[in-house]
Every structure is written in C-alpha cells, then in structure tokens.
C-alpha cells in the first residue's frame, strides 16, 4: 500500500519550502512515486485565520526592515516558559484549522519543518484517538529556538551538534535526536561538477580566482557597494554578482565599469554549477546558503545575519575556520585581498576544510528516517487511553446499577 507523507511548512522565508521539497524529492527518488505520496501544506496560508494567514507576507518585511525588533522578539521568547506560552497561544488561534488540516490530509507519517508549527500540530494530534508518527526536521542551523523541540515527537533531526545540545537542554532524550545535517535538494548534490567543467559550462575564465557575491533571491543587502569595494582593489580575479529578482540592482551593475572580468546575473537556478566554479563566496549567513557552500567546498565571507536565528551561523562558520564575518563593504574588500594574496594553495586548503564540514547525504538520511516511521503503526494518544478508562468506569457503573 502506498505510504502517505504529510510535510508541514510555511513560506516564511525560502528555507522551509526548500527543505520540504528536498525531502519530498529524495523520497520519490529513493522509493518511487508508486510507493509514496507526499503532500506539502502551508499551515499559515492554508489553515490559519486572519491575520496569521498572512504570516508568509509579514515575515520577510519584518526581518528585512526591522531586524532589531525581530532579534529582540526572538531572544525574549527563546526560553522554556516563554516558548510554551507562544506555542499555546498560537495553538488556540489555529486549533480549528489544524483539526481540519489533519482530517483533509490523512498520513502515515507527519514531518514538520517549521518551528512555530511543531508544538501546536502535536497538540492538535493528541486530541485524536490515534495519531501518525511525528518527525521534526530542524531547518535552522545553530541558533535553534526552543519552539523546535516537541518532546512527544518520535524523532527530531537536527543539522548540527549545537542544535542537538539545545534539544537536550529543552528536555529531549538523546535517543529522540540525530545529527543529520540540513536537507539540501538532491539535484544540488548530484549537479556538482569539477571546477574546470563548471567554468567551461558557464564561460568563466578557467585560471582566474572567482569571487561570487550574492544577496539572496531578491538581491537584498549591500550588494552593489560590496561589488564596487572589491572592484576598487583592482585584484587579479573574476567577479560574479547575482542580483536575483532585483531588476534595479541588475541594471545598476550592468551599467557600471569594472576593473576585472565581471559577470552580472539575475535570478539563477543553476547554483550547483555556479558554486562548483567559485573560489570565494560573499553572502549573508542564511543556513541553506552556508550548507550548500560547505557541500560545494566554497569558503565564505559573511556580511549579514538575521539577529537571533542566524547569529550562531556566523560563529559556526568562523569557529570551524571555513569563513569570516565582515559586515562592511570595505572589510569584505580587505578579506578578499588578503585571501587572494595567500595564493591558490591557501584557497585550496580553505576549500577542503569547508567541504569537510558539509553533509551531502543529509537529505537522503532524513528521507530514510521518514520512510522508517511511515511504516510504524498509528500511535494511541492520551485521549484514547482516557476514553478506554472512561468506558471501563462507565461499564462498572452500569453493572452496579443493574445489581
């Protein structure tokens, strides 16, 4: 019989959907579509009332335009007691939607890739007589919020040892957790090629060190100023800038004069090939980007991080000696200059150290775990136990009346 997998996510940032799609496609690759059916559900957009149904639209505006308040909110809520209050309040707001969601999407295993959803979803499941096994896949890299850790989950898969240790602090048992790495789409891992092959495919110079500057899919951050700061150094390199969907930035870059071979791109879907061709990545400290860079073996210069949830990512990169934090364009220019001055052997060593930190098989390990729990029997809940106890008591009372 075909196994049904329900993945709970929301489009609050690109990482949750990317993780969900990566797990789904790994399951299809490993098991085949005849054996498994995977559904992705945006819990906020599809099953929450106003204003929570607009969280996917609110989140990026809050993070991009009011980072300080976001960081304060994140850190203040990141304790056992406050996380419990947040999850309980959220549950009462979306309780009816969660119940409807589980009625409309029956599953053999439920996978949650969003911190705000884990505890409310489990609370709703516990109101049923039986429930499917529940697997949490943590998609923040290091600074993981207490909300991720649902004690009644059968499995909690985390990307780093730091995330594992936080789980222990919140009360999870070692047997509940496993360090797998962050799920990256199978296409990414399988599309990585040698540097020479990638550069030939892209038309880049085969000999010059390649500096890649990205600002996410929307081309946010000081991308233009950083590109100009590198350009002023007149370095013996080639510069690649991805403007994403930011048409204004793309036009500004295209009309600028450059002192080294420079490629300007819009939104790209061939990041495995681009990263395979790159020597140094300049980026913000997003977990997915860091993970992909590690798998591809590209050392990083981080220029920004979301307060709270990405702060630990910077420490992770720096402490493992796979990159540095340089928050201004001038500092980035200094680091690029210094790294290039060390020569190609130093870049090669940085690349090897970075690749050693990667988990290229993470998504397949996660898919294997999900597949295992999909074969478990439904789990009786406290409600079923209570119901059986009430039935027994009722029968005893009835028998007593008959006497």
249-290: per-residue pLDDT in tens?
A: 999 999 999 999 999 999 999 999 999 999 999 999 999 999
What is the structure's pLDDT at 392? Answer: 52
- Residue 383, pLDDT score: 63
Q: How far is CA 154 from CA 138, 175, 178, in A?
A: 14, 9, 11
What pairing do the DSSP bridges indicate for beta strands 379-380 and 130-131?
Answer: antiparallel
Give the whole-angstrom CA distance, residue 182 versus residue 160. 8
Q: Which residues contact 242 (CB under 8 A, 6 or more apart)?
A: 212, 213, 214, 215, 219, 265, 266, 267, 268, 274
From the list 336, 345, 342, 351, the residue with the least C-alpha distance to 235 is 336
DSSP 8-state class, residue 378: P
Query: In this model, does residue 353 exceed pLDDT 70?
Result: yes
Name the nearest CA neighbour of 137 among 353, 359, 375, 354.
Answer: 359
- Report cis status (omega within 30 of 0) of the bond before 51: yes
Q: What is the pLDDT of residue 361?
A: 96
pLDDT score at 402: 41
Of residues 321 and 57, the one with the higher pLDDT is 321
Query: Average pLDDT for residues 358-387, to the nearest whole number?
Result: 88
Q: Give me the mean pLDDT over the 162-183 stretch.
A: 97
Task: State the pLDDT confidence band at 388, using cuts at 50, 70 and 90.
Answer: low
CB 3 within 8 A of CB 108: yes
pLDDT band at 385 (very low <50, low <70, confident <90, very high): low
More confident residue, 105 or 309: 105
Please report which confidence band the pLDDT of residue 13 belongs to, taking 50, 70 and 90 as the band edges: confident
* Cα–Cα distance for residue pair 119/140, rounded to 1 Å: 16
Each domain of the chain, given as residue ranges in start order, spans: 3-184+360-391, 194-356
Q: What is the pTM of this model?
A: 0.91
Is pLDDT of 42 > 60? yes
Share of the chain above pLDDT 70, in %: 95
| Sequence-ordered list of residues with C-beta below 8 angstroms from that of 73, at least 6 positions apart, any chain | 308
CATH for the stretch 194-356: 3.40.50.2000
Pairing of strands 210-214, 177-179: unpaired
Residues 6+ apart with CB under 8 A from 117: 8, 9, 10, 43
Average pLDDT, the chain: 93
* Helices assigned H by DSSP within 244-361: 247-254, 271-276, 287-296, 311-319, 329-341, 344-356
Burial of 382 (0-12, 13-18, 19+ CB in 10 A): exposed
pLDDT at 386 over 70: no
Mean per-residue pLDDT, 340-363 = 97
What is the rounded CA–CA span in Å between residue 76 and residue 397? 51
Say whether pLDDT at 389 is over 70. Answer: no
Specify burial of residue 393 (Cβ count, 10 A radius: 0-12, 13-18, 19+). exposed
Q: What is the homologous superfamily of the domain 3-184+360-391 according to CATH?
A: Glycogen Phosphorylase B; (3.40.50.2000)
Give the least confident one: 132-146, 341-355, 383-397: 383-397
Q: What is the dihedral of CA 369, 375, 380, 382, to 10 degrees?
A: 10
């Amino acid at each position: 019989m075909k196994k049904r997998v329900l993945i709970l996510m929301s489009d609050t940032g690109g990482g949750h959907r990317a993780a969900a799609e990566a797990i789904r496609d790994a399951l299809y690759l490993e098991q085949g579509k005849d054996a498994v059916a995977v559904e992705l559900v945006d819990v906020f957009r599809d099953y929450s009332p106003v204003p929570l149904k607009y969280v996917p639209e609110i989140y990026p505006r809050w993070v991009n335009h009011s980072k300080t308040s976001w960081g304060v909110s994140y850190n203040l809520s990141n304790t056992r007691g406050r996380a419990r209050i947040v999850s309980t309040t959220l549950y009462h707001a979306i309780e009816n939607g969660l119940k409807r969601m589980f009625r409309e999407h029956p599953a053999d295993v439920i996978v949650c890739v969003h911190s705000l959803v884990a505890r409310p979803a489990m609370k709703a499941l516990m109101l049923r007589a039986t429930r499917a096994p529940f697997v949490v896949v943590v998609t923040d890299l290091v600074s993981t919020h207490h909300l991720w850790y649902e004690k009644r989950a059968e499995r909690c898969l985390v990307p780093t040892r730091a995330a594992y240790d936080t789980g222990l602090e919140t009360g999870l048992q070692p047997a509940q957790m496993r360090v797998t790495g962050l799920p990256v789409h199978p296409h990414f891992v399988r599309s990585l090629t040698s540097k020479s092959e990638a550069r030939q495919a892209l038309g880049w110079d085969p000999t010059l060190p390649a500096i890649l500057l990205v600002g996410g899919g929307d081309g946010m951050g000081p991308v233009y100023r950083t590109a100009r700061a590198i350009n002023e150094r007149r370095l013996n390199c080639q510069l690649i800038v991805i403007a994403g969907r930011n048409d204004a930035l793309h036009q500004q870059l295209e009309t600028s004069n450059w002192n080294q071979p420079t490629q300007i791109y819009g939104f790209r879907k061939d990041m495995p090939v681009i990263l395979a061709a790159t020597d140094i990545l300049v980026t913000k400290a997003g977990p997915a980007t860091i993970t992909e860079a590690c798998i591809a073996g590209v050392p990083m210069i981080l220029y920004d991080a979301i307060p709270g949830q990405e702060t630990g990512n910077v420490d992770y990169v720096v402490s493992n000696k796979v990159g540095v934090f340089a928050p201004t364009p001038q500092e980035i220019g200094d680091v690029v200059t210094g790294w290039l001055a060390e020569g190609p052997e130093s870049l090669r060593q940085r690349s090897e150290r970075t690749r050693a930190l990667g988990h290229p098989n993470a998504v397949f390990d996660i898919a294997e775990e999900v597949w295992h729990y999909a074969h478990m029997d439904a789990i009786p809940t406290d409600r079923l136990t209570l119901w059986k106890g009430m039935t027994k008591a009722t029968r005893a009372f009835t028998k007593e009346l008959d006497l």
